[in-house]
Amino acid sequence: MDRNSVKNSIKIFLMLIPSLTILLSVYLYPFILAILISVVDSSGRLTLEHYSYVFTVYAQDVVFTIAVCALSALVSLLISISIASYIRLSLDEGFRKILNWIFRFPLFIPMVVVAQMMRTFLAPHGFLNTLLAQIGFIELQEAPNLFDWRGLLIGFVWKQTPFMALIILSGFAMVSDVHIDAARVLGAGRLYIVRRILLPMARGSIAIAFALTFASNIGTFTLPYMIIGGAKPTTMTVIMAHRVTYFGDWSIANALGVISYAVVGLFSIAYLREAVRAGVYERERV
Amino acid sequence: MSVSLDGVTKRFGSFVAVNNVSFDVDRGEIFTLLGPSGCGKTTVLKIIAGLFRPNGGRVYIDGRDVTDLPPERRDTGMVFQSYALWPHMTVYENIAFGLRLRRLPEDEIRRRVREALELVKLEGFESRYPIQLSGGQQQRVALARALVINPKVLLLDEPLSNLDAKLREELRYDIRELIKKLGITAIYVTHDQTEAFVLSDRIAVMDRGRIVQIGRPYDIYENPRSRYVASFIGSNILIDGVLKGVRDGYGVVRIGSRTEILGVLNSTDPTSLIGKQVTVVIKPEAIEIRKGATGLENLFSCTISRATYMGGTVEHRAQCGEFEVKFYTPSDSRIEEGSIVELHISPRRTIVIAE
Amino acid sequence: MRGRGYRIQHTVTAALKITVLLVLASWVFAPFVSVVLWSVARKWYWPSLLPQELGLDYWYEALGLRRGYALTAAVGIIDALKTSIVIALIVTVITELISLPTAYALAKWRIPLKPLLVFLFLMPQAFPLQPVYVNLLLIFYRLGLAGAVPGVVIAHIIPCLVYAVWINAATFKSIPPDYEESARVHGAGPLTTFFRITLPLSAPGLIASSVFVFLYSFDEFTGTFFIGLPNVVTLPMLLYSASGYNMQFASAVAITLLIPSIIFMVVLERFLKSEYIAKIG
Ligand SMILES: Nc1ncnc2c1ncn2[C@@H]1O[C@H](COP(=O)(O)OP(=O)(O)OP(=O)(O)O)[C@@H](O)[C@H]1O
Ligand SMILES: [Mg+2]
């Protein structure tokens, strides 16, 4: 090996060492620790008892978490596709600008504030129910308590939609105008263009947006903790916190953690594959 | 009349991209918009297709005012400069797109796609994706996609500009033949004059958003009516001078202090132009070498200043006293630089334009 | 002459546009309005849509300008705000310093095992962070970092570092190598080139990432919850503990939490192009 390349390697190493040290020691080590702790019992032997405990006691919550997070991501997806399509295809500059400004607002609101907003907004006699009662939609005496999956869904969708819409919008922006014009000349209306041109051509961005949002929902602690708390069913993150803070029980908490890793990992792989496959068309665009 | 534009204007902000453009295209005619880059050709096409709404003027297709109709209700076919094939669809799906929108039964779609592919000589390419095709093949798919819906008008935006020279020459004839066979009305956009001459029934020359001359290819070439058209078409030499008088039906133009050139004066009242600034347009092919001739009009003694081999022909530049010309000879008749020749510039084919 | 059909169609599209804007605006702003109203409501009994009596009482109490009767929180907004700002500033400085060399190397050099490195730097974004915090708490107990500001700082640095590396790498990548090369050709050393050419050119991107990191740390909940409580009370922690018993006070804290976001929103607006987000994602 010549001296130059040795020198180069040292240089690269020195540049990377500060961030690598941090990530390896306080991120990757506890990350792996989660897996280790989840598979040993109190006497240090390998065991799957924590997982079987989770699946007997918390099965409902695991399913609940995945279902609500996926449903929220799906609803966000539908709304953000509508917003992005409107912005991409509208010919009215002013309308586009206002829309572009409004939909971003939640992007800047931290999750913990979102949670507090939702607590005031969705409370039995909160703003939403009062509003609905004014229109005559519901009776305030028997106002529904929304602090369950519905509250979680509304909170997630409210917070995540703009981020998703931005990613999809950047995917739509990569579809050149002529591809849209060609469809319009042949007789395609907006909806048809969205369905046959924009969505398939931007499906890489859409897959990424969906995977990221789902993963972020699964990992979110704040919102379910403040909206659902200990009520049943609740999310894996909330149970994890309860196991640690109330029982000092790291084993079950980490088993839940590893399950959430697995869910996110499997999901991301499936969706990122789709994104890579969609990348085949990118060559044409450049 | 198949397509008419009446005083169409399009502004982008304060910039006027298309300025008061009017023309009529007959049924089955191939009408070409010819002009340099940025003169507004694509914009005119997009206005006809409905992709842009003009700021003023009306557009008629088959006698119907379509100015306010969106593109999807106009029944035009358009071939884009970059083809704009959808990369995620096969050739078949690309071509079938317009037919599906028209809700035709599946077997009719299949039949018409097959016919369209035959027409552009691409049978057997149904299941390929656009990236698996060469430029020329993509261009033909784009053509098939536009033709398969039997449009009232076919709009073609520089469909050959992205192809290499050889293929371009070949496809010119193919496209003309195809359009004529189908009897379709076509508006063709190009900045390549040879292409325009080969393809068109009529040509409209554009300059900065305006149409400056409309005519058959022959008229445009032989009788440019403005300095701009004369300089844009062919490889004419333009020389400024002053009209001195009229002799034998030709205008006599004084150049510099002592030189006079004769040329055809396109004016109903030539005498009114005497004393005015004019431009003499000299076509290279109107120049002949005459050895030992005398008593001819427009005969000049010139020095060859440069002879450049162009492959097959030699371009000569010659200094003729107070003006310079260029002309071409076959490559075996090259004249050495520095030699003196007698050049005759045919007055019949020389044009005098009053601005 | 524009036809009648055209006019009707025009009216319909205009109505549709206004409807879309109104629906979106109410969806986006209603929860915000709700929390603002709560923070200034003195009396608000259902079924009234708006509070019967408005007042800034809870703001006065929250800001420590008046002793509260309903307020029992040990920590006021001002103390929590101070803690939050101090932590966010420390996190921002450390994160930027650590991320710069890595971002530069990732953007400009060929690095062996790069895919592995990229994966490592994507993990904290892709996988839930909570299990990491849970185990970090276990480790920090032993090190005496649990319930202490340095522990919280470390917890915040993990996700922040990842964002900073990606944003800064994208920034460095966007600087055409010509500038640096021509500086090198004119005799500048690598360090001079970096400080005189690369750094000033990438200032907007670096500022954007600093703002991003600051806001992230300022708003961070999960890491502080596990590592910091009960001793380190940042604004989000205060908000959480208040929302259990005093809606008005919690709402006032929530709005206080928004102030830096709103200030920076204006600043960041220029930098926060969708390409950035796409690159982070
Ligand atoms: N959407 C638009 N917004 C603003 N300006 C435009 C737009 N489209 C075209 N222009 C401007 O209008 C002028 C005419 O453009 P157009 O595309 O019609 O030119 P063209 O003749 O087709 O040129 P080319 O041969 O290069 O394709 C140009 O100066 C262009 O910059
Ligand atoms: Mg053009």
CA distances from B333 to B314, B315, B352, C141 (A): 8, 11, 30, 98
Nearest to B49, CA basis, from C25, A249, A181, C44: A181
For residue B265, the number of C-alpha atoms closer than 13 Å in the C-beta half-sphere is 26
Statement: residue A286 has pLDDT above 70: no
Least confident of A255-264, B286-295, C10-19: B286-295
- From chain B, the residues in CB contact with C3 under 8 A are 68
The more confident residue out of A13 and A214 is A214
- pLDDT band at residue C6 using 50, 70 and 90 as cut-offs: low
In this prediction, residue C274 carries a pLDDT of: 44
In this prediction, residue A278 carries a pLDDT of: 63
- Structure-token match 């499906």, residue found: A203
Exposure string over A160-195, b if 16+ CB within 10 A, otherwise e: bbbbbbbbbbbbbbebeebbbbbbbbbbbebebbbe
Helix axes A59-89, A203-219, angle to 10 degrees: 140
Q: CB-based burial of residue A203 (10 Å sphere; 0-12 exposed, 13-18 middle, 19+ buried)?
A: middle
Specify which residues A40 forms β-bridges with. Answer: A46
Write down the mean pLDDT value for chain B.
91
CB C43 within 8 A of CB C53: yes
Specify which residues B210 forms β-bridges with. Answer: B207
Statement: residue A276 has pLDDT above 90: no
In this prediction, residue C281 carries a pLDDT of: 37
The span from the CA of A268 to the CA of B243, in Å, is 81
B214 CA to middle of ligand 1, Å?
21
Residue B17, ligand 1, Cβ within 6 A = yes
- Residue B138 corresponds to which amino acid? Q
Nearest to C255, CA basis, from A155, A228, A161, A114: A114
Specify which residues B340 forms β-bridges with. Answer: B303
Statement: residue C199 has pLDDT above 60: yes
For chain C, the residue count is: 281
Instruction: Indicate the pairing of strand B259-265 with strand B250-255.
Output: antiparallel
Residue B19, ligand 1, Cβ within 6 A = no
- pLDDT band at residue C53 using 50, 70 and 90 as cut-offs: confident
The more confident residue out of C261 and B103 is B103
> A158 and C236 in contact by Cβ < 8 A?
no
CATH 1.10.3720.10 spans which residues of chain C? 77-279
Residue B5, ligand 1, Cβ within 6 A = no
- Residue B101 corresponds to which amino acid? L
Give the pLDDT confidence of C140-172 residue by residue, as tens digits. 999 999 999 999 999 999 999 999 999 999 888
- Measure A153 CA to nearest chain B CA, in Å: 34
In this prediction, residue C273 carries a pLDDT of: 53
- pLDDT band at residue B89 using 50, 70 and 90 as cut-offs: very high
Structure tokens at A12: 């690269």
The span from the CA of C236 to the CA of A272, in Å, is 34
Helix or strand run (H / E) with residue C236: helix C235-243
The span from the CA of A53 to the CA of A255, in Å, is 9
Q: Is the peptide bond before C150 cis (omega within 30 degrees of 0)?
A: no
- Residue B79 corresponds to which amino acid? V
Chain C contact residues (CB < 8 Å to B): 2-3, 5-6
The more confident residue out of C73 and C7 is C7
List the strands of the sheet with B30-34, edge to edge.
B76-79, B153-157, B185-190, B30-34, B202-207, B210-215
The span from the CA of A141 to the CA of C47, in Å, is 9
C77-279: CATH homologous superfamily? MetI-like (1.10.3720.10)
Give the pLDDT confidence of A70-93 residue by residue, as tens digits. 999 999 999 999 999 999 998 888
Instruction: Indicate the pairing of strand B340-345 with strand B287-289.
Output: antiparallel
- What ipTM does the predicted assembly reach? 0.89
The span from the CA of A215 to the CA of C228, in Å, is 25
Specify which residues B343 forms β-bridges with. Answer: B289, B300
- pLDDT band at residue A283 using 50, 70 and 90 as cut-offs: very low
The span from the CA of B161 to the CA of B192, in Å, is 9
Residue B209, ligand 1, Cβ within 6 A = no
Instruction: Indicate the pairing of strand B323-330 with strand B237-247.
Output: unpaired
Give the pLDDT confidence of A1-47 residue by residue, as tens digits. 567 778 888 888 888 999 999 999 999 999 999 999 999 988 888 98
In this prediction, residue C75 carries a pLDDT of: 64
In this prediction, residue C55 carries a pLDDT of: 77
Statement: residue A284 has pLDDT above 50: no
CA distances from A263 to A222, A236, C43 (A): 19, 12, 46
Measured in whole angstroms, the distance separating CA B257 from the mean position of its chain's CA atoms is: 37
Exposure string over C212-223, b if 16+ CB within 10 A, otherwise e: bbbbbbbbbbbb
Most B CBs within 10 A among C1, C4, C7, hence the mutation to make, goes to C1
Cβ neighbour number for residue A154 with a 10 Å cutoff: 22
CB C212 within 8 A of CB C167: yes
Statement: residue A211 has pLDDT above 70: yes
> C31 and A18 in contact by Cβ < 8 A?
no
Nearest to A169, CA basis, from A80, A286, A66: A80
Chains that touch C (3 or more CB pairs under 8 A): A, B
- Structure-token match 């500086």, residue found: C183
In this prediction, residue A44 carries a pLDDT of: 83
CA distances from A254 to A24, A35, A251, C221, C228 (A): 19, 7, 5, 19, 20
Statement: residue C280 has pLDDT above 70: no
In this prediction, residue A281 carries a pLDDT of: 46
Q: Is B3 helix (H, G, I), strand (E, B) or coil?
A: strand
CB A218 within 8 A of CB A260: yes
The more confident residue out of C14 and C70 is C14
Most A CBs within 10 A among B43, B46, B51, hence the mutation to make, goes to B51
Statement: residue A275 has pLDDT above 90: no
The span from the CA of B18 to the CA of B209, in Å, is 4
Sign of the dihedral through C-alpha B136, B138, B141, B146:
negative
The span from the CA of B92 to the CA of B104, in Å, is 15
Mutate to test the pocket of ligand 1, among B10, B11, B12 (most ligand atoms within 8 A of CB): B12
Mean pLDDT across A263-267: 91
Chains that touch A (3 or more CB pairs under 8 A): B, C
Domain spans of chain A? Answer: 1-38, 51-282
Mutate to test the pocket of ligand 1, among B33, B42, B211, B232 (most ligand atoms within 8 A of CB): B42
- From chain C, the residues in CB contact with B68 under 8 A are 2-3, 5-6
Sign of the dihedral through C-alpha B179, B182, B183, B187:
negative
Least confident of B225-229, B252-256, C74-78, C251-255: C74-78
User: How many contacts does A have with C, using Cβ atoms within 8 A?
Assistant: 251
Instruction: Indicate the pairing of strand B259-265 with strand B210-215.
Output: unpaired
Write down the mean pLDDT value for chain A.
89
Least confident of A217-221, B107-111, C37-41: C37-41
To the question of pTM greater than 0.90 for the whole model, the response is no
Residue B68 contacts C where some CB pair is shorter than 8 Å? yes
C180 Cβ neighbours under 8 A, 6+ residues apart: C193, C197, C198
In this prediction, residue A35 carries a pLDDT of: 94
- From chain A, the residues in CB contact with C146 under 8 A are none
- From chain B, the residues in CB contact with A179 under 8 A are 84, 86
Option in B81, B82, B149 nearest A186 (CB): B149
In this prediction, residue C205 carries a pLDDT of: 85
Q: Is A131 helix (H, G, I), strand (E, B) or coil?
A: helix
Give the pLDDT confidence of C88-136 residue by residue, as tens digits. 999 999 999 999 999 999 888 888 888 888 889 989 988 999 999 999 9
A22 Cβ neighbours under 8 A, 6+ residues apart: C98, C154, C157, C158, C161
Statement: residue B295 has pLDDT above 80: no
Give the pLDDT confidence of B20-79 residue by residue, as tens digits. 999 999 999 999 999 999 999 999 999 999 999 999 999 999 999 999 898 888 889 999
Residue B38, ligand 1, Cβ within 6 A = yes
Helix or strand run (H / E) with residue B16: strand B15-25
Statement: residue B245 has pLDDT above 50: yes
CB A237 within 8 A of CB A156: no
- pLDDT band at residue B1 using 50, 70 and 90 as cut-offs: low
Mean pLDDT across A164-176: 93
- Please name the fold of domain A51-282: MetI-like fold (1.10.3720)
CB B88 within 8 A of CB A277: no
Q: CB-based burial of residue B162 (10 Å sphere; 0-12 exposed, 13-18 middle, 19+ buried)?
A: middle
Least confident of B267-276, B298-307, C49-58, C194-203: C49-58
In this prediction, residue A2 carries a pLDDT of: 67
CA distances from B303 to B290, B323, B338 (A): 14, 11, 6
